[in-house]
Amino acid sequence: MNLNPRDQVMEAVRSNLPSEKVAYPETPAFAKTITVMLPAFEERIREAGATLYKPASLAAAQALLEEQYGDASVICSATPDLKGNLDIHSIKNPHDLADVDVGIIRARFGVAENGMVWLTQEDLVVNSLGFLSQHLVILLQPTELVADMYDAYMRVFLDDTAYGCFMMGPSATADIGAVLVHGAQGARSLSVYLV
């Protein structure tokens, strides 16, 4: 037999399969521990190192952005809801976002259980915006929350997007002396605007 590596791996797997076959288990619907989602979400995302703001309107959010990042030179927004000074749609190469001080993205929804927000390639427009930007501002409608990860995955359609990320806060590490430091590689800070 002269099999290619693929067939050889498959053959090796088949000939070594355990004789007992285990059935796929039924997942019960677990009782929800979180019933009021917004306060839980707010608490969790703060624990994860993000800051939370509640501007009353998009106009107030724009003013908040200017107040918060008045001295930033490059602000790039991937959402029509807030304006920066670099047009994301003009970007052809992910490297062109290397100088971005503040990236702005609208998340699809948040998860009350842990403070994650769901961002897809379509929301980022250019994926590197989420990771090369020094600081991130995430817009999230306060009504777009799910209780936990079970519900979160009901709203995730991986077939429809090449990239999706649950982001829980700024980049973090504790690799030196077991001390928590933000801004290891990705964003140094994450601000969530509930609007």
Partner 1 sequence: MSSKRVDVAANAAAFIDKDDIHEPFHDEHLWAARMKRDAAARAVPEWEALRDLASQIKAHTLTHLDHYLELFEANATRHGAKVYWARDAAEHNQHVLDILSSRNINSVIKSKSMLQEECNMTAFLETRGITVTESDLGERIQQLDNQPPSHIVMPAIHKTAGDIAEIFAKAIGTDPNNADPQYLTEAMRQDARQRFLKAGAGMTGANFAIAETGSFVVCTNEGNADIGASVPPVHIASIGIEKLLPKVQDLGIFIRLLSRSALGTLATQYTSHFTGPRNGGELHIILTDNGRSKRLGLPDFWHSLKCIRCGACMNTCPVYRRSGGLAYGATYSGPIGIILDPTFDESKYSELPYHSTLCGSCTEVCPVKIDISDQILKWRKVMAEKKYLPISRRLAFGAAGKVFEHPGLFHGAETAASAAMKITPHFLLYNRSLNPWGRHRELPHFAKQTFREWYLQYKQPDKEPSPKEL
46: nearest Cα among 155, 149, 194: 194
The amino acid at residue 105 is: I
Residues 51-90 contacting partner 1, CB under 8 A? none
Residues in the chain: 195
CB of 84 to partner 1, least distance (A): 19
Which CB contacts under 8 angstroms, 24+ apart, belong to 69-72? 69/101, 69/102, 69/135, 72/101, 72/102, 72/135
Stretch that binds partner 1, among 54-62, 66-74, 75-83, 184-192 (CB under 8 A): 184-192
What string marks each residue from 159 to 178 as x (binds partner 1 by CB under 8 A) or -?
x-xxxxxxxxxxxxxxxxxx
- Minimal CA–CA distance to 32: which of 128, 149, 110? 149
Among 34, 38, 52, 149, binds partner 1 (CB under 8 A): 149
Q: How far is the CB of 81 from partner 1 (least distance, A)?
A: 22
Of the candidate residues 8, 73, 85, 141, the single one contacting partner 1 (CB under 8 A): 8
- With contacts defined by CB under 8 A, name the span among 63-71, 78-86, 100-108, 156-164 that binds partner 1: 156-164
Q: Which of residues 98-137 bind partner 1 (CB under 8 A)?
A: 98, 113-116, 121, 126-128, 130-132
Antiparallel, parallel or unpaired: β 51-53 and 189-194: parallel
Is 145 a binder of partner 1 (CB under 8 A)?
no
Q: Which of 58, 195, 71, 49 is nearest to 116 (CA)?
A: 49
Residue from 2, 5, 89, 90 binding partner 1 (CB under 8 A): 5
Q: In this structure, what are the phi and psi dihedrals at residue 138, rounded to the nearest 5 degrees?
A: -110, 125
Q: Does 94 bind partner 1 (CB under 8 A)?
A: yes
Among 106, 186, 194, 195, binds partner 1 (CB under 8 A): 186
Nearest residue (CB) to partner 1, 5 versus 80 = 5
Q: Which stretches does DSSP call E strand in 80-144?
A: 86-87, 102-106, 109-111, 116-120, 135-140
